[in-house]
């Protein structure tokens, strides 16, 4: 079961199903645009919210792999030490 990060759709404040997350004191948690929540992608409530536009999947920026030149420079530096 894959976990994904979601946020509320543009201009929306969405109540989060208690089986996904709760606020302190077992109160209903509300997700606002820009705030992220990690959820199970297979959960039917998540699928419905994604389909209806209540949730939007958040894509993390990929981490850049070190370039070959910087890796070679690091090896040369280590060899000199």
pLDDT in tens, 13-35: 999 888 888 777 788 889 999 99
Higher pLDDT, 60 or 51: 51
What are the extents of the domains in the chain? 3-60
Whether the pLDDT of residue 45 is over 70: the answer is yes
Q: Which of 71, 42, 35, 68 is nearest to 20 (CA)?
A: 42
pLDDT of residue 68: 72
Distance CA 33, CA 76 (A): 47
pLDDT in tens, 62-81: 666 666 777 777 888 888 87
Distance CA 13, CA 7 (A): 10
pLDDT of residue 56: 94
What element of type H or E holds 71? helix 68-80
């Amino acid at each position: 079961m894959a976990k994904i990060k979601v946020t509320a759709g543009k201009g929306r404040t969405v109540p989060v199903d208690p089986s996904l997350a709760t606020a302190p004191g077992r109160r209903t948690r509300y997700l606002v645009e820009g705030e992220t929540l990690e959820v199970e992608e297979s959960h039917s409530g998540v699928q419905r919210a994604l389909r209806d536009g209540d949730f939007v999947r958040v894509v993390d920026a990929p981490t850049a792999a070190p370039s070959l030149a910087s890796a070679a420079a690091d090896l040369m530096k280590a060899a000199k030490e």
